[in-house]
Amino acid sequence: MPFEITDPKCRMELTDWERKLAAKLLKVASDQFINHGCNDFDAAKEAGLTEEECEALWEQLGEWDTDCLKRDDTLFLDWLLMRFLADKLGG
């Protein structure tokens, strides 16, 4: 079972260096994941996003990368999400 912090008191805002570190790690992972055979990430199934949240994510991805083509309502490329979130974190 993956490690998960369930106590709300432990969920804190990220410091600047934590944000930079997370962004760098996401970019490194993105570079590795792009070479995997299957890059599908079902945001509804894997992350619990609603259809509305997935649609909002598609809109943000389209603004961030105008070459990003919508493939499915809830299905995303894992490496692309990592790179997008890294950029949003300021990395």
The C-alpha torsion from 46 through 50 and 56 to 61, rounded to 10°, is 10
In a domain, 28, yes or no: yes
In a domain, 9, yes or no: no
The structure's pTM equals 0.81
Q: How far apart are CA 57 and CA 70, in angstroms?
A: 10
In a domain, 53, yes or no: yes
Average pLDDT value for the chain: 88
Nearest-5° Cα angle at 73, 67 to 78: 60
Q: Helices 16-33 & 78-88, crossing angle to 10 degrees? A: 160
Q: Please determine, for residue 2, whether its predicted confidence score (pLDDT) is greater than 60.
A: no
Residue 1 pLDDT: 46
Mean pLDDT to the nearest integer, 7-17? 79
Q: Look up the domain containing 72 and give its range.
A: 18-88
In a domain, 46, yes or no: yes
| Domain count within the chain | 1
Letter for the amino acid at 30? S
For the stretch 20-41, pLDDT in tens is: 999 999 999 999 999 887 889 9
